[in-house]
Amino acid sequence: MQDKTIKIFDTTLRDGEQSPGASMNTEEKIQIALQLQKLGVDIIEAGFAAASEGDFDAISKIASVVDESTVCSLARAMENDIKKAGEAIKNAKKRRIHTFIATSPIHMEYKLKMKPEEVIKRAVMAVEYAKTFVDDVEFSLEDACRSEMSFMKEIIDATIKAGANTINIPDTVGYLLPDEIYEVTKEVCNFIGNRAIVSLHNHNDLGLATANTLSGIQAGARQVECTINGIGERAGNAALEEIVMTIKTRSDKFEGFKTNINTKEIYPTSRLVANITGINPQPNKAIVGKNAFAHESGIHQDGVLKHKNTYEIMRAEDIGLSQNSLVLGKHSGRHAFKDRVSQLGYSLNDEEINKAFLRFKDLADKKKEIFDDDIRAIVTSQITKTEEMYKLVSMQLSDCSGGVPSAAVAIEHSGETITDAAIGNGTMDAVFKVIDRVSNIHGELKEYKVNSVTQGKDALARVVVKVKFEECKTPVMGHGLSLDTMEASAKAYINALNNYLSIKK
Ligand code: KIV
Ligand code: ZN
């Protein structure tokens, strides 16, 4: 009987990181990789080793801590890229190199400026060279879905002979419809037979990434590439949670199909990625959106109370969504806190637990009820913190209703507390001006987002900013968490400054 296990290849840390503004630091990537492993992802694409030193470093560190999932690096079909990928993953227990080259006429002519024969030669060279580093090599035909089938077969045949174990046929621009993906996948599967695994990688430009992926599975693909919350280049990639939950929920249509995903880890993983990237899924996002399991209308609420299945096709518990119950309070000890943190999917060392516990205690003194989402917010901001070269000590704001908005801010730097004050167009403007002046680095605020972590007037405010500093080409992200929105804003701005300085260093 044909094996119907679908391998889940997660590319949150590579294609997902290509979402505008989603760049993550090494610590953040390690936390996400460990959570992906816990989720049961078969292959983690940890990055693109040749892209930057930061990428290389993050992939190598992930390779040394992840021991169940395969760790993979992307590489263009170029010697240097493949060498870098091979070196970055060398400490992984299970490792893969994923190399690619474009195969569509438009990409070959205008982007690569290469003849089809040269493209095949390059692809074969890439796979053969990758094989000198690892046994497990994946080859992708970039823009496969706009490529000619006869050329695809030629290059697929050549790369399988060169040693490729997985052949990926991406819909790079999210163009095809589900029935077309079915046809392409079927033809490729028939051509390949059992010589390699066929993989899909669908982008969401027309909102069809998940539908296309599911259609390709029906046609014979046995690996799917996806991201948490569907983040990714442009409109994103197929969302892992949607693919996995459809296979599970519609087992009548996907009879015998299975994945190795522990669905109870879906929600914790989604929150971790959202907290780290600052990209929250839209409220009506399937599976992980805030409203995905909320019933607003009276008729629906009445129906669900009488029988859950009237309006629910999945159970919230199946994706690990607790109803945000009250978990800990002021009297909870370190042990209970540590337990809860690990139940929520975080692996913290003793020092990190101690620091997070102090923040928890501080919060519990001010806020009566502490929810899971509060703990997630505290822990994420703790573990992803870069070196605090500048640290907020205190701030005092003037009344902003009618008077001149001003701020006096005390900041710790190199063991010294510096105090300064400024006026601004609003109190926030004044605070940011003081920070610029104290650090002598000018930042331009490009984006500002504020969310409340839970409900309630005493909820924690979570601020995410993107700040463009003088010498940085792209804006740097910063997070801040506090019961006070202005304090959270100042912390977020200072966090962006610290991130910028650590990138520079
Ligand atoms: O979308 C795409 O084609 C890709 C490849 C590198 C696999 O991301
Ligand atoms: Zn892609």
Q: For residues 289 and 201, what is the distance between their CA atoms, to the nearest angstrom?
A: 23
* Ligand nearest to the CA of residue 167, numbered in listed order: 1
Q: Tell which residue, 389, 443, 437, has the closest CA to residue 415.
A: 389
Q: How far is CA 3 from CA 186, 255, 330, in A?
A: 16, 12, 52
The CATH homologous superfamily to which domain 390-504 belongs is Alpha-isopropylmalate synthase LeuA, regulatory domain (3.30.160.270)
* 351 CA from centroid of ligand 1 (Å): 39
Q: Which residues surround ligand 2, an ion (CB under 5 A)?
A: 15
Query: How many residues would you count in the chain?
Result: 505
Q: What tokens appear for 498 in the block?
A: 């610290």
* 65 CA from centroid of ligand 1 (Å): 26
- Residue 158 one-letter amino acid: A
| Total-model pTM | 0.85
Question: Which residues make beta-bridge pairs with 8?
Answer: 224
Q: For residues 121 and 345, what is the distance between their CA atoms, to the nearest angstrom?
A: 45
Which of 14, 15, 99, 166 has most ligand 1 atoms within 8 Å of its beta carbon, as the pocket-test mutant? 15
Q: For residues 124 and 108, what is the distance between their CA atoms, to the nearest angstrom?
A: 16
Count CB atoms within 10 A of the CB of residue 204. 23
Report the topology of domain 7-277: TIM Barrel (3.20.20)
Question: Which residues make beta-bridge pairs with 137?
Answer: 97
Pocket of ligand 1 from Cβ distances under 6 Å: 15, 100, 140, 142, 168, 170, 172, 201, 203
* 236 CA from centroid of ligand 2 (Å): 8
* 117 CA from centroid of ligand 1 (Å): 21
pLDDT string in tens for the chain (505-residue length)? 678 999 999 999 999 988 776 778 888 899 899 999 999 999 999 999 999 888 999 999 999 999 999 999 999 999 999 999 999 999 999 999 999 999 999 999 999 999 999 999 999 999 999 999 999 999 999 999 999 999 999 999 999 999 999 999 999 999 999 999 999 999 999 999 999 999 999 999 999 999 999 999 999 999 999 999 999 999 999 999 999 999 999 999 999 999 999 999 999 999 999 988 888 899 999 999 988 987 666 676 677 777 777 778 899 999 998 765 556 878 888 888 888 888 777 778 888 899 999 989 989 888 877 888 889 888 887 777 778 899 999 999 986 677 889 999 999 999 999 999 999 999 999 999 999 999 999 999 998 989 888 888 889 998 989 899 987 777 888 989 999 999 999 999 999 999 889 878 7
* Ligand nearest to the CA of residue 107, numbered in listed order: 1
- Residue 256 one-letter amino acid: G
Domain ranges of the chain: 7-277, 293-322, 324-383, 390-504
Q: How far is CA 92 from CA 7, 16, 97, 246, 362, in A?
A: 19, 21, 12, 31, 39
Return the half-sphere exposure (C-beta side, CA atoms, 13 A cut-off) of residue 432: 25
* 204 CA from centroid of ligand 2 (Å): 10
**Residue with the nearest Cα to atom 8 of ligand 1?**
15
Give the nearest ligand 1 atom to 237 CA: 1
* Ligand nearest to the CA of residue 227, numbered in listed order: 2
